């Protein structure tokens, strides 16, 4: 194998205090990956994984996004990217596909911080950092929301005064778009069924969402204006009564900021179980009859599975034809019991599960787990958002 990746694309995913990155070859056969974390703090560091899989840890105390990217570029050595693709969480109504970064695009990403205050500012910082280091390197923004711009108005509009949509663009946008795009495309590649293909995609992890995809287009999804809507997640509550905010303010005297903190960071699996936002931990405690939080953990798992199954069932209404269900994300890829319990919730769908196949799928393995007689297919497909971002980046630039 050559020591130099052919025509590599650098994928950058900036968080408020982190940078996840991947340098991916044109044929997707080779990649260098890493994570810069704790940026701005004394314990900031980069964990870098080379082509041969060897890991290197580099301390970068006090580093900001720009200085961290400078160090990341040096760690890449002679692997020079031909373009950079940035994961951007919110693209609003304007961006229905990936686009090359221009001053206008960058200004829109910054403006849309109102819709994604925790993510878009960090995404913009990453773009500006690369610009300052390599001003001639082409950059592309790949938006989490773009894939869902194919939803019809009946799916994306809220039943609120129309002026709020027309003037302030208050609507459902959906997220995890790069994951749902990759998974639905991959599912249509590996199924033996002839098209058209209709998939229910379950991206289940600390952040979870489901999407109905027909012939490569999103027709409806679980997340809305923000990533809080929809499924129960690691720390997010998912769907609640819209009047919960005013009820908590009136009865407990909580501010909107405090309520937002509770619903986004202290709810979900963590809130119900009282012990963890990690499904592995919650499942383990749920199966431990001697643990004091066993009943709470058991309920958290039951609620997670019930709500996921209920959402998948409801999203089937968006599809002209259903081919099958795809599970992905940290939970969807690794927990056979969660997959089985979600399918049990959908008991009226004639989903016949092969228990042996289901139990064998974990740790990033791709495969089907439906029986030969099942009316609909069941798949586990590990998601690859980095590859999807690289693919869309090259397509935009014609590389």
Q: Could you list the active site residues?
A: 144
Closest CA to 94 of 141, 127, 137: 141
Task: Name beta bridge partners: 45.
Answer: 37, 59
Q: CA separation (Å) from 17 to 132, 268, 283?
A: 19, 23, 29
The Cα 227–Cα 148 span in angstroms is 13
Q: CA separation (Å) from 123 to 101, 114, 181, 339, 340?
A: 12, 14, 20, 33, 37
Q: Tell me whether residue 124 is exposed, middle or buried, using C-beta atoms within 10 angstroms of its C-beta: 0 to 12, 13 to 18, 19 or more.
A: buried
The Cα 252–Cα 313 span in angstroms is 36
Cβ neighbours for 271, distance < 8 A, ≥ 6 positions apart:
235, 237, 262
Q: CA separation (Å) from 388 to 41, 269, 349, 364?
A: 31, 29, 31, 17
The Cα 187–Cα 28 span in angstroms is 18
Return the structure tokens found at 66. Answer: 């720009």
């Amino acid at each position: 194998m050559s020591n130099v990746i052919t025509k590599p694309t650098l994928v950058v995913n900036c968080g408020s205090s982190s940078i996840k990155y991947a340098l991916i070859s044109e044929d997707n056969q080779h990649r260098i990956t890493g994570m810069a974390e704790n940026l701005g703090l004394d314990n900031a560091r980069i964990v870098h994984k080379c082509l041969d899989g060897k890991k290197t840890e580099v301390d970068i105390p006090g580093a900001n996004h720009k200085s961290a990217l400078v160090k990341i570029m040096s760690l890449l050595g002679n692997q020079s990217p031909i373009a950079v693709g940035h994961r951007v969480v919110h693209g609003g109504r304007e961006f229905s596909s990936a686009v090359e970064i221009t001053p206008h695009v960058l200004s829109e990403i910054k403006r849309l911080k109102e819709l994604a205050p925790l993510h878009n500012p960090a995404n913009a910082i990453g773009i500006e950092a690369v610009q300052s280091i390599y001003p001639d390197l082409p950059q592309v923004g790949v938006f989490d929301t773009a894939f869902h711009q194919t939803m019809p108005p009946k799916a994306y509009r809220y039943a609120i005064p129309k002026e709020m949509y027309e003037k302030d663009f208050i609507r459902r946008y959906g997220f995890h778009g790069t994951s749902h795009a990759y998974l639905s495309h991959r599912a249509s590649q590996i199924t033996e069924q002839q098209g058209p293909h209709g998939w229910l995609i379950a991206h289940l992890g600390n952040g979870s969402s489901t999407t109905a995809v027909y012939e490569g287009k999103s027709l409806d999804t679980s997340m809305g204006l923000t990533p809080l809507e929809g499924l129960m997640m690691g720390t997010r509550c998912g769907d609640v009564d819209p009047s919960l905010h005013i009820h908590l303010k009136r009865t407990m005297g909580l501010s909107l900021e405090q309520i937002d903190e509770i619903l986004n960071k202290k709810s979900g699996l963590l809130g119900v179980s009282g012990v963890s936002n990690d499904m592995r931990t919650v499942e383990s405690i749920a199966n431990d009859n001697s643990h004091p939080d066993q009943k709470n953990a058991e309920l958290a798992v039951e609620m997670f599975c019930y709500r996921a199954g209920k959402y998948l069932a409801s999203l089937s209404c968006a599809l002209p034809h259903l081919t099958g269900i795809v599970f992905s994300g940290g939970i969807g890829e690794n927990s056979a019991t969660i997959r089985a319990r979600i399918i049990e919730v959908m008991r009226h769908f004639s989903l016949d599960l092969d228990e042996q196949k289901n139990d064998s799928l974990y740790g990033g393995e791709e495969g089907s787990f439906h029986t030969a007689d099942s009316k609909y297919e069941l798949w586990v497909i590990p998601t690859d958002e980095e590859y999807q971002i690289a693919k869309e980046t090259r397509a935009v630039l014609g590389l």
